[in-house]
């Protein structure tokens, strides 16, 4: 069990390094092919998920504010609504919920697509044509998903903050929009913006790397793809949560 975990970790690390190497050495190569693929991936891991994220934003605002208001009014601490939203939504739930949804919607598709490409010999065909499979299949996914997760997190957070106010308003909390915004601004620091960007880019890249690794790194047969997908989803989630824990430590340390 431990050995298998270490082997997977080693494989993933090597795969990440190879991808990084290809990204650097082939930064300018075949841009006319790779750039549209990156845009397509941003669309898939970002733009097309917007309706789902709008729904999630409204739900997240309701969950956090609904629960918080009922508790904070009891202790008379309604002035901390903005702070709660920043701590819970901006720092924690926003990025994590985005990452989990992207794993579910796009990460699974990644494993299946690449696993099928591997099983049906498309990857060999790329190699036979002198096309680096990592450059053609993995690099656009890593870049696209990193940007996609970042953009979606920003939208989710904005949506949740707006819907949070809406739910507070519905619950008759005496809070003016200006005061709410002031509370938010007061709770946010410059570091929040930097860490949010770094964290979400890292989430996107990790999801892409883990799912591509499981689809691509070992020779698969068609019947093995479902098993690979299950493993990739589990590992993506664990990796994102572990990374999130690392960021919590960072927050606490600063």
Partner 1 sequence: MTPPLPAPDEVPALEMINVAVGALHDPAIRVAENINWTVRPGDYWVIAGLHGAGKSDFLRLAGGVMPPQQGQYRFFGEPMPIFEDARLPTRLRLGLVFDGGQLFNHLTLAENVALPLRYHRNLGHAEAAAAAAELLAGLELEPWAHRLPGAVGYGWRKRAGLARALALQPEVLLVDNPLGGVDPRQVHWWLAFLDQLSRGHPLLRGRPVTLVVTAADFPRWQGHARQFALLRDRRLRVLGGWGEVAAAREDAVRELLTKETQTG
Per CB under 8 A, residues contacting partner 1 are 25-26, 29-33, 113, 116-117, 120-122, 124-132, 136, 219, 221
Count CA within 13 A, CB hemisphere, residue 56: 22
Tokens of 28: 């300018």
**Based on CB atoms, which residue is closest to partner 1, 18 or 188?**
18
**Based on CB atoms, which residue is closest to partner 1, 124 or 177?**
124
Taking the chain, what is the end-to-end CA distance rounded to the nearest angstrom? 36
Minimum CB distance to partner 1, residue 121 (Å)? 4
Give the CA distances from residue 148 to residues 79, 89, 99, 231, in Å, rounded to whole numbers and listed in that order: 34, 18, 10, 23
Compute the distance between CA of residue 180 and CA of residue 161 in angstroms, rounded to an integer: 10
**Based on CB atoms, which residue is closest to partner 1, 2 or 32?**
32
**Based on CB atoms, which residue is closest to partner 1, 71 or 127?**
127
Compute the distance between CA of residue 82 and CA of residue 192 in angstroms, rounded to an integer: 14
**Based on CB atoms, which residue is closest to partner 1, 30 or 250?**
30
**Based on CB atoms, which residue is closest to partner 1, 132 or 192?**
132
Minimum CB distance to partner 1, residue 13 (Å)? 20
Tokens of 100: 């989990």
Minimum CB distance to partner 1, residue 158 (Å)? 33
* HEC sequence for 82-106: HHHHHHHHHHHHHHHHHHHHHHHHH
Minimum CB distance to partner 1, residue 177 (Å)? 47
Our separate counts of H helices and E strands in the chain read 12, 0
Give the CA distances from residue 98 to residues 86, 151, 163, 177, 234, in Å, rounded to whole numbers and listed in that order: 16, 10, 17, 26, 16
Nearest to 12 by CA among 152, 202, 208, 157: 208
**Based on CB atoms, which residue is closest to partner 1, 74 or 221?**
221
């Amino acid at each position: 069990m431990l050995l298998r975990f270490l082997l997977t970790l080693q494989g993933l690390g090597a795969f990440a390094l190879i991808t990084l190497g290809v990204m650097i050495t082939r930064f300018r190569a075949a841009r006319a092919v790779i750039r549209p693929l990156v845009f397509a991936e941003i669309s898939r891991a970002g733009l097309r998920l917007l309706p789902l994220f709008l729904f999630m934003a409204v739900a997240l605002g309701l969950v956090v504010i609904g629960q918080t208001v009922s508790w904070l009014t009891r202790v008379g601490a309604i002035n901390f609504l903005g702070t709660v939203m920043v701590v819970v939504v901006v720092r924690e739930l926003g990025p994590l919920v985005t990452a989990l949804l992207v794993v579910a919607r796009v990460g699974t598709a990644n494993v299946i697509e690449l696993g099928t490409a591997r099983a049906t010999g498309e990857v060999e065909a790329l190699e036979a044509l002198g096309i680096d499979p990592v450059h053609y299949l993995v690099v656009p996914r890593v870049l696209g998903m990193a940007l996609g997760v970042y953009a979606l997190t920003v939208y989710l957070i904005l949506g949740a903050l707006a819907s949070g106010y809406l739910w507070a308003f519905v619950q008759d909390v005496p809070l003016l929009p200006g005061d709410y915004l002031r509370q938010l601004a007061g709770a946010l620091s410059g570091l929040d913006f930097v860490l949010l960007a770094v964290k979400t880019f890292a989430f996107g890249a990790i999801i892409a790397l883990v799912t591509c690794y499981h689809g691509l790194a070992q020779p698969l047969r068609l019947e093995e793809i479902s098993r690979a997908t299950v493993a990739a989803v589990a590992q993506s989630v664990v990796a994102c949560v572990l990374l999130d824990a690392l960021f919590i430590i960072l927050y606490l340390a600063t």
